Amino acid sequence: MNRAFFYGIGVGPGDPELMTMKAVRLLGCCDVVAYPTNVNGDSFALSIAQEVISSNAIHLPIFVPMNRKRDLARKAYEIASQHIEQHLLKGRSVAYICEGDPFFYGSFAYLYAYLRTDYNIGIIPGISSVMACSAASGKPLAGRNDTFKIVPATADIYNIKLALQQDDSLAIIKIGRHFEKVRSLLCELDLLNQAMVIESATTDHERIYKVADWQGETLPYFSTILVYRGAEVW
């Protein structure tokens, strides 16, 4: 691994075997490994990658409060980027690992914004949970001339409805406590039976079922709903 490089490394959706050869090589020789944690200090990204990280690597857990007060998150990313910078200034390579892909709805983009102008950057794409959900559910995402949209359940309800009306294929990500809002829309548009829930794809907790079959009011954060409305030309 090059010295004083800041890497954003996607470690994929959950199954450690879905890491790329490149991610494994770089994590095996990085000086510092940084990763997002929850409030308890647990890190999903670390749990995926831990077996391949160099035993000599310095660990740098990063906790960012996830709530509506964006100033708190911004401050946390700023401080984290300063910590990373201190390592880079000592000539160390730093790998920030993220579940899925680093540039696809991930926290890496914030650190990247702080550090990109002054340091060497390497971005290693990872398998997105969206592709993993499609594989797990046994339904192709899109083909031929299909349009395919990804929309976070946190988005404006108008945008979700628009996608459900216009696009051939749709992935609604980060479902969590927004499930009821999404279910109501699917019901209104008569799509309940075409909508699949995929929880924690490729992990030991993977579960797959129709939205129509789920009676609960919420879903885990790492849940995705896939809806295919296209012509299924395959």
Which residue among 132, 164, 185, 195 contacts its own copies (CB under 8 A)? Answer: 132
Tell me the residue type at 212. A
Residues binding its own copies: what is the number (CB under 8 A)?
61
25 near its own copies (CB under 8 A): yes
Spatial separation of the C-alpha atoms in residues 224 and 232, rounded to whole Å = 21
Asked if residue 128 binds its own copies (CB under 8 A), the reply is yes
Beta bridge partners of 100: 12
DSSP code for 220 = -
**Closest CB to its own copies among residues 159, 193:** 159
Determine, following the binding rule CB under 8 A, whether residue 91 of this chain makes contact with its own copies.
no
Nearest-approach distance from CB 89 to its own copies, in angstroms: 22
Tell me which DSSP letter residue 219 carries.
-
Separation of CA 151 from chain center: 13
Instruction: Measure the CA–CA gap between 171 and 142, rounded to whole angstroms.
Output: 11
The upper half-sphere exposure of residue 82, i.e. CA atoms within 13 Å in the direction of its Cβ, equals 5
Tell me which residue of 104, 124, 101, 117 sits closest to 25, measured CA to CA.
124
Instruction: Kindly identify the residues of this chain, within the stretch 157-176, that bind its own copies according to CB under 8 A.
Output: 159, 162-163, 166-167
Q: 115, 7 in Cβ contact below 8 A?
A: no
Report the residue from 83, 119, 140, 212 that binds its own copies according to the rule CB under 8 A: 140
Options 63, 110, 119, 214; binder of its own copies; rule CB under 8 A: 110
Residue nearer to its own copies on the CB measure, 35 or 90? 35
- Contact residues for its own copies (CB under 8 A)? 10, 12-13, 15-22, 24-25, 70, 101-106, 109-110, 112-113, 116, 121, 123-128, 131-132, 134-135, 138-152, 154-156, 159, 162-163, 166-167, 233-234
